[in-house]
C-alpha cells in the first residue's frame, strides 16, 4: 500500500510505532499488523516535547474526539473519517450515588456515539489511518458492535469491509452491518473462532486489519474517552473508573490518555484507580488480578449474556494488568443477572439507557460499594459502553418478568 501525502497537517506529534513485545520501532507508514517481527502489540509513540497545549486550548475547540488531534495518529486532516464521535456527556447519577453511599456517581454515556457505542472512537481512528495508508479493503472479527461501527466508518470512507462474526451475535447488528454495505461472514463457535477465520482470510486477500490490538490505532481513539472524562472534571481525575473489560482496548486507552496529559502537565492529579469489570462466566483478567499474575489463563468454556466482555483469551492482558497495578486498581466479577439488574436500576432511577455489557461495570461498582470499597466522598465513573437499544429485548424481558431490585 502506498502511504498518502501529508497535506492539511493535523499537528499530530506522533513520530513512530513501538512494538511492546520486542521493542522494535517502525515508521508511521507501517501497514502490516501486528508486529511483523514478533506478532506483538504495536503502540504509537508521540514527541510530547513538541506539543504546546493547555487545557484551556482544548476547551476552546469545538467538534468531535479529533479536538485532541495532537495526540491522535492521523497526519493529514483530509484523511480523517469522522461522524462526530466523542464529546459524549458525563452524567451525574445522584439517586444511585446516594444508594451506594458515595459522593458522586458519573456515567460516561458512550451510547450517544454515531452507532451507539464506544467502538466508534477506535474505528474512527483505525479507518482514518486505513484511509491515510491508501487501503481499499478493511476487515475484522467482532462480537457485533465493532463490526457495525467498522462497516459504518468504512462506508463513510468509501472502503470495502469484511466482518467476521460468531453466530451468537444479535440479528440487529448483523442487519446493520449489511445495511452499511459490508460483507458478513458468520462462523460457529466463539469470537476466537471468528478471529481465526478472519486471520486466514486476511492473509489470503491482503486486507488491512482494524482488529483489536492488531491495528495500533483503535486504542488511540479510545484514549479520548479518558481525555473527555478529565476535561469534564476540570482536568482532575476521579477516584475510580470502572470499565467493562473484554479485550481491554478502552481501559488501556484511558490509562494511556492519563499518562499523556500528565506528561504535558495538563493533569496534575494522581491517576484514577482502574477497575476491571467482567462476568463470572468469563473473567480471565479479574481472575489474574486476584491471583496477582502478570498474564491471564484463558477461559476454556466462556458463558455470558454480556458478549462484549465474553473474551476468553484477551491477548493484551499483560498491558491491562500493568495498567491496573500502576493505577492501584482492582477487578470485580458479577453474575449475568446483576448486570441486567444494574442496567434496569440506571434506567429506572436516572433515566439513562444502558446495554447489558455496560451493566457489568455498574453492577461491579454497586458490588464494590456494598463491600465498603469506597469512601463517602469518592467520585466514581462508570463507562456506559453502549446504548440500551443494543440489548433492548433482554432488558425489556427482564423488566417484565424480573423487576429491578432498586426498590427492594
pLDDT tens for residues 129-164?
999 999 999 999 998 899 999 999 999 999 999 999
Q: Which domain holds residue 329?
A: 90-114+217-407
284-340 pLDDT, tens digit per residue, is 999 999 999 999 999 999 999 998 899 999 999 999 999 999 999 999 999 999 999
Whether 135 maps to a domain, the answer reads: no
CATH number, domain containing residue 316: 3.40.50.1100
**Prediction pTM value:** 0.94
Q: Which three three-digit cell numbers place residue 69?
A: 488531534
Residue whose C-alpha cell is 452491518: 177
Integer-rounded Cα radius of gyration of the chain: 20
Contact between residue 244 and residue 360 where contact means Cβ atoms under 8 Å apart:
yes
Q: What is the pLDDT of residue 78?
A: 96
Q: What is the pLDDT of residue 403?
A: 55
- 229 domain residue, yes or no: yes
**Structural domain includes residue 331:** yes
Which of these, 240, 275, 268, lies nearest to 378 by C-alpha position?
240
**15 assigned to some structural domain:** no
39, part of any domain: no
Report the SS3 class of residue 131.
Answer: helix
Pairing of the two strands 273-279 and 240-244? parallel
How many separate domains does the chain show?
Answer: 1
Identify the sign of the CA torsion 48, 54, 55, 60: negative
How high is the pLDDT of residue 8? Answer: 60
Tracing cell 424480573 back to the chain, one arrives at 402
Q: What is the pLDDT of residue 402?
A: 64
User: Which stretches of the chain score pLDDT less than 70?
Assistant: 1-8, 402-408
Residue 230 lies in a domain: yes
Q: What is the pLDDT of residue 68?
A: 98
pLDDT for res 5: 40
Check: CB of residue 357 under 8 Å from CB of residue 244.
Answer: yes
Contact between 383 and 225 under an 8 Å Cβ cutoff? The reply is yes
Kindly state whether residue 231 falls inside one of the protein's structural domains.
Answer: yes
Orientation of helix 356-370 relative to helix 336-350, angle to 10°: 90
Sheet strands side by side (includes 137-142): 183-187, 160-166, 137-142, 208-209
pLDDT of residue 286: 98
Residue 34 within any structural domain of the chain: no
**Cβ-contact 275, 240 below 8 angstroms:** yes
Amino acid at each position: 500500500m502506498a502511504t498518502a501525502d501529508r497535506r492539511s497537517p493535523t499537528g499530530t506529534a506522533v513520530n513512530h510505532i513501538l512494538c511492546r513485545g520486542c521493542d522494535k520501532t517502525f515508521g508511521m507508514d507501517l501497514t502490516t499488523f501486528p508486529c511483523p517481527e514478533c506478532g506483538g502489540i504495536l503502540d504509537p509513540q508521540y514527541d510530547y516535547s513538541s506539543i504546546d497545549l493547555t487545557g484551556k486550548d482544548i476547551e476552546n475547540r469545538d467538534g468531535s474526539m479529533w479536538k485532541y488531534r495532537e495526540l491522535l495518529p492521523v497526519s493529514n486532516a483530509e484523511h480523517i473519517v469522522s461522524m462526530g464521535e466523542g464529546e459524549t456527556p458525563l452524567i451525574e447519577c445522584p439517586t444511585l450515588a446516594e444508594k451506594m453511599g458515595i459522593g458522586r456517581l458519573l456515567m460516561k454515556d458512550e451510547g450517544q456515539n454515531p452507532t451507539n457505542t464506544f467502538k466508534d472512537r477506535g474505528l474512527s481512528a483505525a479507518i482514518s489511518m486505513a484511509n491515510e495508508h491508501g487501503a481499499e479493503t478493511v476487515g475484522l472479527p467482532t462480537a457485533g458492535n465493532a463490526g457495525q461501527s467498522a462497516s459504518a466508518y468504512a462506508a463513510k470512507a468509501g472502503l470495502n469491509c469484511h466482518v467476521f462474526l460468531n453466530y451468537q451475535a444479535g440479528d440487529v447488528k448483523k442487519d446493520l452491518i449489511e445495511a452499511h454495505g459490508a460483507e458478513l461472514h458468520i462462523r460457529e463457535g466463539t469470537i476466537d473462532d471468528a478471529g481465526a477465520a478472519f486471520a486466514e482470510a486476511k492473509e489470503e486477500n491482503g486486507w488491512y486489519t482494524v482488529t483489536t490490538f492488531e491495528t495500533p490505532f483503535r486504542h488511540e481513539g479510545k484514549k479520548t474517552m479518558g481525555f473527555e472524562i478529565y476535561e469534564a472534571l476540570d482536568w482532575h481525575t476521579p477516584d475510580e473508573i470502572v470499565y467493562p473489560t473484554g479485550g481491554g482496548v478502552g481501559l488501556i486507552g484511558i490509562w494511556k490518555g492519563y499518562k499523556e496529559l500528565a506528561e504535558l502537565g495538563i493533569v496534575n492529579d494522581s491517576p484514577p484507580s482502574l477497575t476491571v469489570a467482567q462476568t463470572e462466566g468469563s473473567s480471565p483478567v479479574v481472575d489474574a488480578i486476584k491471583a496477582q499474575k502478570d498474564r491471564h489463563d484463558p477461559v476454556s468454556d466462556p458463558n455470558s449474556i454480556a458478549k462484549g466482555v465474553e473474551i476468553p483469551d484477551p491477548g493484551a492482558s499483560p498491558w491491562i494488568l500493568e495498567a491496573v497495578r500502576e493505577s492501584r486498581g482492582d477487578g470485580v466479577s458479577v453474575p449475568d443477572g446483576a448486570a441486567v439488574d444494574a442496567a434496569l436500576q440506571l434506567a429506572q432511577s436516572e433515566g439513562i439507557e444502558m446495554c447489558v455489557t455496560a451493566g457489568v461495570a455498574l453492577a461491579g461498582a454497586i458490588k464494590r460499594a456494598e463491600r465498603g470499597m469506597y469512601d463517602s466522598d469518592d467520585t466514581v465513573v462508570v463507562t456506559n459502553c453502549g446504548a440500551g437499544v443494543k440489548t433492548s429485548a433482554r432488558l425489556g424481558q427482564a423488566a417484565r418478568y424480573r423487576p429491578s431490585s432498586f426498590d427492594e
